[in-house]
A and B are shown apart, each in its own frame.
Chain A
Amino acid sequence: MQIEEVMKRKVITVSPSTTIREARRLCQEHRIRHLPVVEGETLVGIISDRDLRDALPSVIHKEVEVDDIYQHPVSSVMKKDVITIHPLDFIEEAALTLYTAKIGCLPVVSQGKLVGIVTESDILHSLVELMGVDRPSSYLKIEVDDTTGRLADVAQIIKECHVNISNVYVYPSKKKGKKNLSFRVETIDPRPIIERIEQHGFRVIWPEKLDVKHNAQEKTQQRMKAKEQNNDGSANL
């Protein structure tokens, strides 16, 4: 997925001369935390709700004239070296940048113009969409060797069962030399697929199989245990 697929195109912006009072009002009104600062279509800075709060005196300090501060332009508190991203970049790059730079938003700039904005919650939302259920399906998780061609092997088995795959991702396993394949397959009855995957020697982790015992077996085992303990010379209760 590319940035242009997830970015917001309608960006609330301010100019360098906008007052801090007005910037605060915009953040509250639109329930946003970041305001790109533009001159015409050119991005010259960014201001966050935290920058605006930092500009104000502490609520404990009553002497300072707050009204005076509110009159200042945002250019006096904005960040000027803005980290930006391009509409054709990938969302994983945006995720990595947000994470490593510890920031909450990336203005999207193309040919020197501000064309959109991507925030943390946009990235989370696209993750939900990527991993989510967009069509009725069953979930399978399979552990395979971390070698070439295993995804193709399992996909081939699903194909032989004539079932459509709506979603797949591959990720490392905690076990050395293994990786996990996670599939959403469009069937209510994945039993034939699971059976064939296991016949090929792959391990199906989900759906989990429980080796279910019955009450009768459980009671028999408890009695056996009790007997053994008695034979150990423990107290006969």
Chain B
Amino acid sequence: MGRPTSKPIFIYSEAVLNYFFHDEHPFNQKRIALTKQLLECCGFLIPDQVRAPRMATDEELLLVHDREYIEAVKKASQVSGQSSPGQEHPEFHPFGLGTEDTPLFPDMHRQAVLAVGGTLLGAELIAQGRTKRVLNLAGGLHHAQRGKASGFCIYNDCAVAIEYVRRQYDMKVLYIDTDAHHGDGVQWIFYHDPHVFTFSIHETGRYLYPGTGHVNEKGIGEGYGYCLNLPVDAFTQDASWLDCFERGLEAVLQFFKPDIIISQHGCDAHFYDPLTHLAGSMSIYVRMPELIKQAAETYTGGKWLAVGGGGYDIYRVVPRAWGLLWMVMNDVPVKQGPLPESWLSAVRAHVNGPVPALWLDEEEVLPVIPRQKEIEEKNRLMLKQALSYLRQQVGPH
């Protein structure tokens, strides 16, 4: 564990790159190595701040996952070589394994457990007061369910870490999900729990996976009112996205007053992302971490655990977005400036067409969305509806 440090911790080891399905698969953790190289090139990440993740134990996985499912993942890991999806091993399909999204790969159990262990290590470091902010970019696998893999996610590291701090430290946990896809796995696991508030902003599930995350999903039983979803319209741009996020977060904080914040930083709401239909730019990946940092300073004594998530333009978007996230966590002032030439030239070899050379997106490349006014109005109405329940609880702001 080491001595207490006031510096944020960056969890990383080469091993996290082995959470790898196959060459054509959109989910590729090479993006974490690219982010780390970019930060090191700039001198924003010193070896002192890097910690290797540990393996999560079976007991820890059992905090949220079914034993039968864990056994199935272990068995699937022993299948030699990579299987062609859908054709082999139909016995794993009920567990969401061996599918097009989550094909089998050797040693998948150990690789998935390392992602959970990294997020758990972060939760331990913060809960024990050794540091206030930890980033585990290999985590954020928010679609995984108790007994089923889903949307590239095998084990739900966020849910395991949330349940861990609930049981060990009895903290009230605010989970913030900024991925373009609804954070369904985490939401359903804590849907009945009034000590865990799940807050997700995402593209509407009208046609984007997983299809859930509607404003009227608010929790159930004792957990009713401890879940907030902000499903924005397709092609939403920065201003409207941030307006929803900022006002939603403010309302949740006043209502819930968390003891710790765990945030998921999928960066697939960017206009370059190939899997979603949103039109955000790099600015939102500065502003959202800044707002979360401020929230942690005000409410949780600074306790903030951040994890990765989606993000499928691994050269033009993810390294900048996650680099900016780390800069905010590490209190490096964010200024519009060029990316290091040595890093850029390495990246250009992999990309057809131009690569953004600055930290933030330039005005010229921003998309023009003809229906923007209409989209903004729809988002305003959605936000009003989503917040109406919370407003009744905390009074007008």
Q: A11 to B235, alpha carbons, bound, how many Å?
A: 48
Q: Do the beta carbons of B207 and A216 come within 8 Å of each other?
A: no
Do residues B235 and A210 form an inter-chain contact, with CB atoms below 8 A?
A: yes
Nearest opposing residue in chain B for A141, CB measure: B207
Q: What residue of chain A has the Cβ atom nearest to residue B150's Cβ?
A: A136
Question: For the complex, would chain B's binding face be called helix, strand, loop or mixed by DSSP majority?
Answer: loop
* Contact in complex: A136, B143 (CB < 8 Å): yes
Q: Count chain A CB atoms within 10 A of each CB in B26, B143, B151, B184 and give the residue with the most.
A: B151
Question: Is B366 within 8 A of A214, CB to CB?
Answer: yes
Q: A202 an interface residue at 8 Å Cβ cutoff?
A: no
Docked complex Cα distance between A214 and B281 (Å): 12
Which residues of B have CB within 8 Å of A190?
209
- Is the pair A215, B205 in contact by a Cβ cutoff of 8 Å? no
**B85 CB-CB contact with A under 8 Å:** yes
Minimum distance in angstroms from B150 CB to a CB of chain A: 5
Q: Is the Cβ of A208 less than 8 Å from the Cβ of B277? A: yes
Q: Is the CB of A187 within 8 A of B271?
A: no
Would you call B143 and A138 a contact (CB within 8 A)? no
Cβ of B208 within 8 Å of any chain A Cβ, yes or no, is: yes
Q: Does chain A have a CB within 8 A of B364?
A: yes
Tell me if B212 is interfacial: C-beta within 8 Å of chain A.
yes
Residue pair B277, A207 in contact (C-beta under 8 Å): yes
Q: Whose C-beta in chain B lies nearest to the C-beta of A207?
A: B207
**Residue A171 at the B interface, CB < 8 A?**
no
Give A188-233 interface residues, CB cut-off 8 Å to B. Answer: 188-191, 206-208, 210, 212-218
CB distance A207 to B234 under 8 Å?
yes
User: How far, in whole Å, are A216 and B274 apart by their CA atoms in the complex?
Assistant: 21
Are B367 and A214 closer than 8 Å at their CB atoms?
A: yes
Does A163 have its Cβ within 8 Å of any Cβ on chain B? Answer: yes
Q: Which residues of A contact B85 (CB under 8 A)?
A: 162
Residue of A nearest to B364 (CB): A216
A139 to B292, CA, bound (A): 32
Evaluate contact between B365 and A133: CB separation under 8 angstroms.
Answer: no
Interface size on B, residues (CB 8 A): 35
Contact of B152 among A186, A188, A206 (CB under 8 A): A188
Q: B41 contacts the other chain (Cβ, under 8 Å)?
A: no
Q: Is the CB of A162 within 8 A of B207?
A: no
Which residues of B are found within 8 Å of A140, using beta-carbon distances?
207
Which residues on the A side are within 8 Å of B40 (C-beta)? none
How close is A157's CB to chain B, nearest CB, in angstroms?
13
Query: B211 to chain A: which residues have CB within 8 Å?
Result: 133, 136-139, 184
Please report the C-alpha to C-alpha distance between residue A140 and residue B209 in the assembled complex, in whole angstroms: 11
Q: Is B373 an interface residue (CB 8 A)?
A: no
Closest to A218 in B: B368
Contact A139 B277 (CB under 8 A): no
Q: Is B377 an interface residue (CB 8 A)?
A: no
Interface size of A in residues (CB-CB distance below 8 Å): 29
Whether B184 lies near A136 (C-beta < 8 A) is yes
A213 contacts B101, C-beta separation under 8 Å: no
Contact with A along B87-102 (1 / 0, CB 8 A): 1000000000001110
Chain B residues closer than 8 Å to A138, beta-carbon distance: 207-209, 211
- Interchain CB contact under 8 A, A215 and B277: no
Nearest Cβ distance between residue A25 and chain B, in whole angstroms? Answer: 29
- B93 smallest CB distance to A (angstroms): 8
The verdict on B59 contacting chain A, using a C-beta distance below 8 Å, is no
For chain A residues 154-168, which have a beta carbon within 8 Å of chain B?
161-164
Interface string of B134-165 (1 = CB under 8 A from A): 00000000010000001110000000000000
* CA of A214 to CA of B85, assembled, Å: 38
Docked CA distance A197–B360 (Å):
36
- Complex CA gap A184/B206 in Å reads 10
Minimum CB distance partner of B365 in chain A: A214
Given A163-B100, A189-B101: A206 touches B207 (CB 8 Å cut-off): yes
Contacts of A133 in B (CB 8 A): 205, 210-212
Which residues of the partner chain A approach B210 to less than 8 Å between Cβ atoms? 133, 136-137, 188
Which residues from B are CB-within-8-Å of A191?
274-275
B368 — which chain A residues lie within 8 A by C-beta? 212-215, 217-218
Is A212 within 8 A of B184, CB to CB? Answer: no
B202 at interface by CB-CB < 8 Å: no
B87 touches A162 (CB 8 A): yes
B209→A215 contact, CB < 8 A: no
B181 at interface (Cβ–Cβ under 8 A)?
yes
The answer for the CA separation of A204 and B189 in the assembled complex, in Å, is 34
Whole-angstrom CA separation of A189 from B181 in the bound complex: 11
Within 8 A of B (CB), among A131-178: 133, 136-141, 161-164
Q: How far is the CA of A138 from the CA of B101 in the complex (A)?
A: 12
Q: Are A215 and B369 in contact (CB under 8 A)?
A: no
Can you pick out 23 interface pairs between chain A and chain B where the beta carbons lie within 8 Å of each other? A136-B143, A136-B151, A136-B184, A136-B209, A137-B210, A138-B211, A139-B206, A140-B207, A162-B86, A162-B87, A162-B100, A186-B99, A188-B143, A188-B209, A191-B275, A208-B234, A210-B235, A210-B277, A210-B369, A214-B365, A215-B363, A216-B364, A217-B368
Task: Give 10 closest A-B pairs by Cβ, nearest first.
Answer: A162-B86, A136-B210, A133-B211, A139-B207, A216-B364, A188-B151, A188-B209, A212-B367, A138-B209, A218-B368
Known: A136-B143, A137-B210, A189-B275. 9 other contacts (CB 8 A): A133-B211, A139-B207, A161-B100, A163-B86, A187-B101, A190-B209, A208-B277, A210-B277, A215-B364
